[in-house]
């Protein structure tokens, strides 16, 4: 990818029709660009197919974006025929929305991302330049602080914001070029956008592995296969392999929880040619498991939130699933320790694919309807096996009610003592270890790393001695 140039920009003074604050607010459409545009320069048909699949996943956008600590959310809302940014405050007694329209309507694919100080980062594209600004309320109007722009001379380069980083004071973006992928700091730096790392290959996804915003996992497509790698943003963008289940498998990291080490992955290792959902624990020597209950033939299952705070028992973390099928979109709640998915209807107006767990096991789902333009539905997770009755926890509802209006690298992490083996339930799912000769173990970060495993299960494993989940 041709190096991108950074330059300061002034606020655009074009005067267009102002956004009507009093109009109805609609769900953000997100980025809906043609996915085929993201596969320019891919030659073989097989490679093109894999890259096309990555592009489709890359352009799938949730209805809104929530900060890592759950204090704010942001989305594009609709007033008449005009789109405008909207910030939601979620940490008060009741959620409320603040519209942030500027002097011109936004394009449907415009990206927004909330920061924990209440400002909203907006990413616009104009004449091949990616322009970034911070929006904030100023009484009756909207203030805008220009941050600068990233200019990509290569027309085939695609730049997207990464998920909110831990801490919430910085924001990052990924620029995917023809031969490499650049990681940019676009908000929170000293002098506007800063180039942090260059990763060979085409990267997608983006999952934060720690609580400091140092270790970023990316799904890299290279040499005809997709594997997850880790980029250390404080060591000059050093790249290390993370997820390598088999030599010829396509392995992607979907979600990670820094407290428990629980990882949700998608891989075709257990069934070549057909990707399946699986889970593992970072630092564990046990194999990756692919539960049969997560295997669906007529619908798409996408995990979008993991319950935090379960440090010693990753298998008890509740996982929220978005399920899309012929009958529509609904919710699923699943725990690794269980062999079933609890299916629940989605609340009316749910901003699909978005939500946040509390440590106590309550799933918070943002929604917007004509009657309630800013709301949060709360769903208690079904109790797991062996959990005592909790009278204050609501039973899984038939219909979800809509209420009225210093960073530590992994090899230095304090694994010993804190990550003792927990009670091990018996699992009957497909378990896959890394193949011998696959170039390394799955969940590998850096050579020479040690540490005890976290949690885990006790099902029968394959005879190979190659560890499938190690932080080595």
Tell me if 236 sits within 8 A of 197, measured CB to CB: yes
Tell me if 84 sits within 8 A of 100, measured CB to CB: yes
Tell me if 412 sits within 8 A of 418, measured CB to CB: no
User: Could you give phi then psi for residue 280, rounded to 5 degrees?
Assistant: -155, 180
CA distance 274 to 290: 12
Beta bridge partners of 77: 84
Strand pairing class (356-357; 158-161)? unpaired
Tell me if 236 sits within 8 A of 229, measured CB to CB: no
| Residuewise pLDDT in 10s, the chain (472 residues) | 333 434 444 344 333 333 333 333 333 333 333 333 333 333 333 333 343 344 344 434 678 999 999 999 999 999 988 999 999 999 988 999 999 999 899 998 899 999 999 999 999 998 889 999 999 999 889 999 999 999 987 878 999 999 999 999 999 999 999 899 999 999 999 888 999 999 999 999 999 999 999 999 999 999 999 999 999 999 999 999 998 899 899 999 999 999 999 999 999 999 888 999 999 999 888 889 999 999 988 899 999 999 999 998 999 999 999 999 998 999 999 999 998 999 999 999 999 999 999 999 999 999 999 999 999 999 998 875 555 433 323 333 344 444 443 333 333 333 333 333 333 333 446 767 655 444 444 554 433 333 334 444 433 333 333 233 333 2
């Amino acid at each position: 990818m041709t190096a991108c140039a950074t330059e300061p920009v002034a606020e655009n003074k074009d005067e267009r029709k102002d956004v009507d604050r009093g109009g109805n607010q609609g769900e953000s459409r997100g980025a809906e660009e043609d996915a085929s545009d993201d596969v320019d320069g891919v030659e073989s048909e097989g490679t093109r197919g894999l890259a096309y699949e990555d592009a489709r996943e890359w352009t799938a956008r949730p209805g809104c974006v929530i900060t890592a600590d759950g204090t704010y959310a942001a989305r594009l809302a609709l007033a008449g025929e005009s789109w405008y940014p909207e910030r939601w405050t979620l940490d008060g007694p009741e959620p409320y929305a603040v519209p942030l329209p500027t002097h011109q309507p936004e394009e449907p694919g415009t990206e927004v991302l909330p920061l924990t100080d209440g400002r909203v980062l907006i990413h616009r594209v104009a004449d091949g330049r990616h322009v970034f600004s911070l929006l904030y309320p100023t009484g009756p109007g909207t203030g805008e602080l220009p941050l600068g722009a990233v200019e990509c001379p290569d027309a085939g380069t695609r730049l997207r914001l990464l998920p909110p980083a831990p801490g919430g004071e910085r924001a990052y973006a990924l620029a995917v070029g023809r031969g490499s992928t650049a990681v940019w700091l676009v908000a929170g730096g000293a002098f506007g956008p800063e180039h942090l790392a260059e990763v060979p290959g085409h990267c997608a996804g983006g999952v934060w592995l720690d609580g400091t915003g140092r270790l970023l996992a990316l799904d890299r497509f290279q040499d005809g296969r997709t594997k997850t790698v880790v980029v250390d943003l404080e060591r000059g963008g050093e790249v290390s392999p993370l997820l390598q289940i088999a030599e010829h498998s396509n392995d992607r990291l979907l979600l990670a929880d820094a407290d428990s080490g629980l990882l949700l992955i998608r891989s075709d290792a257990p069934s070549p040619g057909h990707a399946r959902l699986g889970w593992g624990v970072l630092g564990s020597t046990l194999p990756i498991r692919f539960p049969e209950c997560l295997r669906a033939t007529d619908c798409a299952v996408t995990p979008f939130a993991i319950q935090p705070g379960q440090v010693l028992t990753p298998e008890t973390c509740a996982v929220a699933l978005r399920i899309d099928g012929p009958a529509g979109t609904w919710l699923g709640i699943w725990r690794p320790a269980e062999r079933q998915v609890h299916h629940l209807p989605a609340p009316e107006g749910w901003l699909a694919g978005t939500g946040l767990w509390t440590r106590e096991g309550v799933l918070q789902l943002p929604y917007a309807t004509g009657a309630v333009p800013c709301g949060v539905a709360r769903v208690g997770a079904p109790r797991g096996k062996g959990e005592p009755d909790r009278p204050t926890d609501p039973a899984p509802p038939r219909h979800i009610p809509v209420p009225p209006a210093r960073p530590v690298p992994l090899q230095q992490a304090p694994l010993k003592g804190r990550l003792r083996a927990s009670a091990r339930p018996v699992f009957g799912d497909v378990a896959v270890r890394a193949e011998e000769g696959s170039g390394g173990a799955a969940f590998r970060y850096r050579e020479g790393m040690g540490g005890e495993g976290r949690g885990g299960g006790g099902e029968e494993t394959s005879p190979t001695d190659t560890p499938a989940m190690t932080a080595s």
